[in-house]
Structures are given as structure tokens and as C-alpha cells.
Structure 1
Amino acid sequence: MTAENKQSHFFAVLQALLVTFLWSTSFIIIKNGLASIPPLTFAGLRYSIAFLCFIPFIIFKKKYREEISNLNPQQWKSLILLGFSFYAFTQGAQFLGLSLLPSVTVSLLLNFTPIIVAVAGYFILNEKPAKIQWLGIALFIAGIIVYFFPVRLAEGKLLGIIIMLAGVLANAASAITGRKINRNKDISPLIITFISMGVGSIVLLISGISLNGFPEININNWLWLIWLAVINTAFAFTLWNHTLRTLSAMESSIINGTMLIQIAALAWFFLDETITLQEGFGMLTAAVGAVLVQLKKSGPVKNQ
């Protein structure tokens, strides 16, 4: 590796760490915003604004307009399914989960996704997990057991965990759907994100407003919403995919795995969410397991 390549690689690592930091701060911003904005409406507004950010890039580039017009019915079906599974169900569950559970618990449960994808991939995609992935699955499950032991959950927390587990299943389904779409390499990443985000955000927004009406949002929360949409979603997604041109799949997985630690630190500092020594050990064990599961084969990580 030349000196120029080393510098480019180091810069890509810093950029990837910046993205994971932005995604980690999303948990803190969402927790604060949920005090005045209902979960589904909050999620719908975030991704609707982010969707609007992508429109100029589509309108002013002929190749993207032509690509959308040439999509066949099967491709539309796959993109709509991705919109429902990743944005409407996964993100909806995440916002609902954050309204009921500590940030670290939500983040930890979301790390179940690669475990389910690895197991489902064995049956659905005929992708046999490597030994290191089986080790990762065992470590992750052990970490989860340590984190929650002994199991004493209040009614609200139990509901939150059930919602999050449903969200994790939806997230795993979206990962498999996304893998199938990307495997064909006939739709550009920007179009995949644009259409699926548009579908999911509309479903979330309509659902939220139907259930709770449109809330009164003060200027401070509007600013945080715009920040979440523009910086933590549109910008962060674009920058992350840029780093994937330089970083290996293993490096990206490890960097993405630091989010659990970042969220724990941010939640402790800003939200006064304490973590016991036992919970910390369980969390770290699960984080290592989640990274190991992704080491064999890892693709772009979706925006948070």
C-alpha cells in the first residue's frame, strides 16, 4: 500500500467512524423528540424529509429518470416490499421501541439482525455460515442472556421488547430482500433507497397521523427533525457508501459494530441511562458476536 493509499484508507476509516457517530446520536435525538412527537409520526417525518432531499438528485440526472421509467413490475414489487419491511416496519418498530425501552436495549436487540440473516440465509439463500459465524451466533446469544439475566421486565418493557423483536424480523427480511435486489445489480443504490424510502415514509406518516393526528411541533424539534433527515440519514448514507469503496467488508463491519458502545456512552452522558457491570459485559460479548457473524460476507449497511 502506497503512502497515498494509506492516507486515503485512514481518511475512509475516519469518515466511517463519523457516520457511525451520527447514527448513534440519532438514538439520543429520537429519545428526546419522543417526549412531544408520537413515534410513528416522528419516523414518518424523518424519512419523508430525507426522501425529499433525494428528489433533486433524481430530477436533474437523466440516467436516474430513465432508470425509474424502465423499472419492470417485478422490480417495483421488490422495491415496494423493501420500503415496507425496512422503513415502515423496521424503523416504525425502532421508534416505538425507543419510546418504551432504554437506547442501549434497542440497539442491542437490533444487533440480532445479522444473526437472523445468517440463519435465514442458510435455509432461503443456501448460504452456509462459516465456523466463525457460528461462533459469533453463540457469543451473541450468550451476551444477550448475560445482559437480561435475571429476566424481570415491567409491562411496558416487555411490550417494547416484543415490538423490537418484530422489528428485528422485519429488518432481517429487508436485509434478505435488499441482498436479492443488489445481487442482480440492475438497479442503482440511489434508486433503491429513493423508492423504498418514499414508500416506507408515506406509510409511516399516514399511519402516525391516522392514529395520533398531526402533533404541534416546536421550532427546536423541527430543527432536530431536519438534522436527522438531512445529516443523519441522507448525508450519512451517502458518505457510508462512499467509504465502502475503500474499506473492506471486515473493516466496515467492525466500525459499524462500535455503534453499540457509542450509543451506551451517549445515553449515559445525555440521558442518564446507567449500565451495570453485568449489562456492560453482556453488551460487549454480544457486540463481538454480531461482528463475527458479519465477517464472512458483509455488504452495505442501511441507514439508521
Structure 2
Amino acid sequence: MVNPGLSYKVPSWALAVVSCLLWSSAFAGVKTGLQHAPPLFFAGLRFTLAGILLIPLAGSPLKYLRELRGSPFLPFKVGIFQTVLLYSLFFLSLNLVPGSVGAVVNGMLPLWAALAAHVLLKDDKMGRRMLVSLGIGFGGIVLLSVTRNGGVPGEIGGPELVGIFLMLGASFANVLGQIVVYHSRGTMNSMVLTSSQFILGGLMLLGISRIVEGAFVLPPAPVFWGALIYLGFLSAAAFSIWFHLLSVRGEKVSVIGIWQFLIPVAGAALSWLIIPGDDPSWPVFSGMILIASAIIYFFYPSNRSPE
């Protein structure tokens, strides 16, 4: 079981930041891959590859199999939430809503994580400090996102409303998967759990793709394979770190979730560096400052428990 008093050489906040920065860099790879393959098929390949890449890091094959025999249904449950539902709903949503709207809804993930943890976990309740931090952070997400397409809001209704609900469903699936991992802490090696849920979830996505998207032949384009390999390594690293924080260190879902406000910030900064014509603006800078303020307010001073 987890020893809450155990100290680690690398602090949890640093690992959470690394994981969020990795996730924020996935946008370019996803956009590249989707130019050559349908979304569910590409997602299935991505996560199956990520799971396979982690097998050598999970210990010997016998240890891997022993871990799976000890909790045979846990990887299936996590894979359903964290891979199948999360990414199928996420991709379907982005086909219906503008990127700015999707960013606002998806950027509210720390808020959903805190609310779900408050309701479903006895030891993870919200206090005043967390509520204030979430409010400030959400304000930053809105400023950061609504200015991404020139700051011109569009009318929301019909298919876009469906897309918003799909994105909400993806966010809730993500949070529920994290709660399953948190509940299971100490029952399975975190690397084995990450690897096996990726493989199961990825294979299920490929099966759904065969039904929904039809047969598909792998494209020969080197850029596709480069994006796939990069995303496979990225997913393996980011989710391994996050599952380690939840299942080994026993970090609370709501507390480390605050760091996920960094994902749209880092994503915006990367887009300024990579995408021609995408330049920063004062509203975007203001949003970043609000998000940074939310994180600083929640975690400072570090020796004081959140209220």
C-alpha cells in the first residue's frame, strides 16, 4: 500500500508538470496523423503501440503476467474510461465544434476532477482554497481559448451542442478513469497497469474503427509513422507518470489535477513557436497569468495544507 509519509527524490509536482507538458505537445502529432488515417484507427494504433513500448519497462514477462492474474479486470476498467471512451468521444467532439470551444470545455478538466473527487472520494474534498483556484484557472482557460480564433465567438447550437456534450463526456471519462486508478493504488504495478490498459483500450478502438470507419490500409507516408511513434512514446511516458502519482504515491485526483491547467498554456506557447502566423496577444497572456496565479495560490506556501 502507499506510504503517505514516504519522500521521493523527484517531487510529485515536478512529475505532474512533466506529464502535462508532454500532453500539451501532442497536438501537432495528432493533426499530422489525422491527415493520413481516420481518427479511431489512428488512436487505436497510437495506444496499442504505447502499451507495447512499456512492456519491457514493466519487469519480466512472468512478473507482468502475475500482476495481470492478480487483478485481471482492472486494466479493462481503466482502458474503457482512459482510452476507449476518452479518446473516441474526444475525436468525435472535435469533428463538431470549433477548436476554441473544444479547448474551453476540455480545459475545464481540473474542475471536473475536483467535483468528481469531492462526490466519489471520501478523502478528497474541496475547500475554499481549491474553489478559488479553480475559479481563477477557469477564467484563464476562457481568456486563452476564446482568443485562439481571433476572438470571434460563434453561435452554439445543433451539432455544436452535441459536440460540447461529447467533450464533456470525454472529460468525465478521463476523471472516472483517474478515480479507478486512485482506488486501485497498491493492487497492481503502475507500469503494468498503464501498459495493459493501453493495449486493451487500443485494440478495442481498432475494433470499433473497423465497424465504424471500415477497413483501412496503413499509409506509407514517413510523416505518418513519425507522428505515430512520437505519440506512442509520449502517451507511454505521460500516462506512466500520472498513474504512478495516483496509484503509487497516492496523490489526490483533485490536487494533481490543478496542474492540468498547464496543458492549454503550454499548447498555446508551442503553437507560437511551431505554427506560422500564430502570434501571442494580450488576452492570451492575461489568461496565462490567471492560470499561473491559480496554481501559485493553491500550492503556496508549500508547507501548508489546502483549506
Task: Say if 1:289 and 1:159 are closer, same or farther in 2 by CA, change over 3 A.
Answer: farther
1:210 aligns with 2:215: no
Say if 2:262 and 2:291, in contact at 8 Å, map to a contact too: no
| TM-score, length basis structure 2 | 0.72
**Counterpart AA for 1:64:** Y
| TM-score, length basis structure 1 | 0.73
Task: Say if 1:215 and 1:234 are closer, same or farther in 2 by CA, change over 3 A.
Answer: same
Q: Distance in 2 between matches of 1:194 and 1:49?
A: 9
**Counterpart AA for 2:50:** A
Which residue is 1:4 aligned to? none
Task: Say if 1:98 and 1:132 are closer, same or farther in 2 by CA, change over 3 A.
Answer: same
Say if 2:44 and 2:206, in contact at 8 Å, map to a contact too: yes
1:176 aligns with 2:179: yes
Say if 1:104 and 1:260, in contact at 8 Å, map to a contact too: no
**Counterpart AA for 1:113:** L
1:95 alignment partner, one of 79, 91, 95: 91
1:119 alignment partner, one of 111, 115, 122: 115
Which residue is 1:261 aligned to? 265
Higher helix proportion, which one? 1
Structure 1 position 115, deviation (Å): 1.4
Task: Say if 1:98 and 1:270 are closer, same or farther in 2 by CA, change over 3 A.
Answer: farther
Which residue is 1:136 aligned to? 133
Which residue is 1:270 aligned to? 274
Q: Distance in 1 between matches of 2:285 and 2:52?
A: 39
**Counterpart AA for 2:204:** V
**Counterpart AA for 2:164:** I
Q: Distance in 1 between matches of 2:285 and 2:41?
A: 32
Which residue is 1:189 aligned to? 190
Residue segments in structure 1 that go unaligned for 5+ positions in a row: 1-7, 297-304
Identity %: 24
Q: Distance in 2 between matches of 1:180 and 1:166?
A: 21
Say if 2:44 and 2:204, in contact at 8 Å, map to a contact too: yes
**What RMSD, in angstroms, separates the aligned Cα atoms of the two structures?**
4.0
Task: Say if 1:80 and 1:232 are closer, same or farther in 2 by CA, change over 3 A.
Answer: same
Report runs of 4+ in structure 1 exceeding 6 Å deviation.
239-246, 248-255, 290-296
1:285 alignment partner, one of 286, 290, 301: 290
- Choose 282-291 or 53-62, whichever is displaced more: 282-291
Aligned length: 280
Which digits, 9 at most, give the CA deviation of each residue in 1:26-77, with x for residues without a partner? 1111012212221111111100111222334457343332222233xxxx33
Say if 2:104 and 2:142, in contact at 8 Å, map to a contact too: no
Say if 1:19 and 1:240, in contact at 8 Å, map to a contact too: yes
**Counterpart AA for 1:28:** A
Say if 2:107 and 2:141, in contact at 8 Å, map to a contact too: no
Which residue is 1:31 aligned to? 31
